[in-house]
């Protein structure tokens, strides 16, 4: 028995904020943002009545509908967010209630932008061990609510959005979970963090250059390690789907791995950094673009607050 990616659902806010739009309120410009990050625009949620739990639910519902199953068939929800509505309970519990998945487990993994590798790994291993058949992995972010809109070093980087991956048990050969490598360095907790909600200045804070340097080195190294653990090499990768934070990080990692550009998924230009939702949004678009076919090896690598980083491999 293996865990396969059965479907991917998304929720993308309608409102598009271009770089020029941000430049109206903060000292920045389109040229700087594009040349330093590759970001042209991001989606933002403008309606304060829409919560992180709502958009997580929309994405989860989309994934369930695409798979043609009902909420009662979901055995568990693993969610991730760095912009929760409440410090606790877990975002996963709110999504649980909205979906009406009675009997399913629900918990969050706190790894900010690094959410997807540990979350897919946990879900896949639970399915492989027979504990569950269908698990939703949901990343949902309203980053715009935790940003200091007067800090041009951070506010231009992030976007809002949600995405959900449905993992299901399957006996199909040549598809599903392959392996994961995970790592962390807690000594670097202060280069990317958000103070406890309710504390003074509860905004995301980041030492951009330190995060940038770490990301370039570690995303490539952890991808190599995941491949080696699985007895594979970089040439086996059909599509590399990295966390979408900055085009320069993505390109540097691609170069280090010696991956041709056409094997690297990029959509940071249109969404900015959507943190825990970024890899599944990219997966969704890659599939829509016809870049994912059954059996293809997909490598998903992410890094986030902790600092923690990882790479997980699936055959599509």
H-assigned helices in the chain:
19-22, 30-37, 52-67, 91-99, 116-128, 152-155, 208-229, 247-257, 268-271, 278-288
Q: Give CA–CA dist 80/15, Å, rounded.
A: 23
Is the Cβ of residue 89 or residue 208 nearer to ligand UT7 in the bound state? Answer: 208
In whole angstroms, the minimum distance from the beta carbon of 203 to ligand UT7 comes to 14
Instruction: Considering the candidates 2, 96, 101, 113, report the single residue annotated as catalytic.
Output: 113
Residue tagged 């607050």 (tokens): 305
Name the residue among 186, 177, 165, 201 with its Cα closest to residue 59.
165
Q: Does 245 bind ligand UT7 (CB under 6 A)?
A: yes
Catalytic annotation present for 96: no
Q: Are 146 and 194 in contact (CB under 8 A)?
A: yes
Which pairing describes strands 16-18 and 41-43: parallel, antiparallel, or unpaired? antiparallel
Q: Give CA–CA dist 42/156, Å, rounded.
A: 9
Q: Which of 97, 110, 212, 287 binds ligand UT7 (CB under 6 A)?
A: 212
In whole angstroms, the minimum distance from the beta carbon of 308 to ligand UT7 comes to 11
Q: Does 156 bind ligand UT7 (CB under 6 A)?
A: yes
Q: Are 134 and 168 in contact (CB under 8 A)?
A: yes
Is the Cβ of residue 215 or residue 297 nearer to ligand UT7 in the bound state? Answer: 215
Instruction: Considering the candidates 19, 121, 273, 308, report the single residue annotated as catalytic.
Output: 273
Is the Cβ of residue 32 or residue 105 nearer to ligand UT7 in the bound state? Answer: 32
In whole angstroms, the minimum distance from the beta carbon of 66 to ligand UT7 comes to 27
In whole angstroms, the minimum distance from the beta carbon of 133 to ligand UT7 comes to 32
- Judged by CB under 6 A, how many residues of this single chain contact ligand UT7? 23
Q: Which of 59, 64, 104, 113 binds ligand UT7 (CB under 6 A)?
A: 113
For residue 309, the 8-state DSSP code is E
How many other C-beta atoms are found inside a 10 Å radius of the C-beta of residue 129? 9
Residues that bind ligand UT7 (CB under 6 A): 28, 32-33, 36-37, 113, 152-153, 156, 192, 206, 208-209, 211-212, 215, 243, 245-246, 249, 273, 303-304
């Amino acid at each position: 028995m293996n865990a396969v990616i059965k479907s991917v659902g998304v929720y993308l806010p309608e409102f598009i904020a271009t770089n020029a739009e941000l430049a109206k309120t903060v000292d920045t410009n389109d040229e700087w943002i594009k040349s330093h990050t590759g970001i042209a625009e991001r989606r933002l949620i403008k309606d304060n009545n829409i919560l992180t739990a709502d958009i997580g639910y929309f994405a989860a519902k989309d994934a369930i509908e695409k798979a043609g199953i009902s909420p009662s068939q979901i055995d568990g929800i693993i969610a991730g967010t760095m912009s929760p509505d409440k410090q606790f309970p877990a975002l996963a519990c709110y999504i649980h209630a909205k979906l009406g998945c009675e009997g399913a487990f629900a918990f969050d993994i706190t790894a900010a932008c690094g959410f997807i590798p540990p979350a897919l790994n946990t879900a896949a291993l639970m399915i492989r061990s027979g504990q569950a058949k269908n698990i939703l992995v949901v990343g949902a972010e309203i980053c715009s609510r935790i940003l200091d809109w007067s800090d041009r070093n951070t506010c231009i980087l992030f976007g809002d959005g949600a995405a959900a991956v449905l993992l299901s048990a399957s006996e199909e050969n040549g598809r599903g979970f392959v392996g994961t490598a995970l790592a962390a360095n807690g000594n670097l907790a202060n280069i990317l963090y958000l103070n406890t909600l309710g504390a003074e200045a509860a905004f995301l804070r980041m030492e951009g250059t330190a995060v940038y340097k770490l990301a370039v080195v570690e995303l490539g190294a952890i991808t190599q390690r995941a491949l080696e653990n699985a007895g594979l090499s970089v040439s086996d990768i059909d599509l590399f789907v990295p966390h979408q934070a900055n085009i320069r990080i993505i390109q540097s990692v691609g170069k280090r791995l010696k991956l041709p550009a056409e094997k690297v998924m990029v959509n940071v230009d249109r969404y900015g950094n959507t943190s825990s939702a970024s890899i599944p949004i990219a997966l969704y678009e890659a599939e829509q673009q016809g870049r994912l076919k059954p059996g293809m090896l997909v490598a998903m690598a992410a890094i986030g607050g902790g600092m923690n980083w990882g790479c997980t491999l699936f055959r599509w």
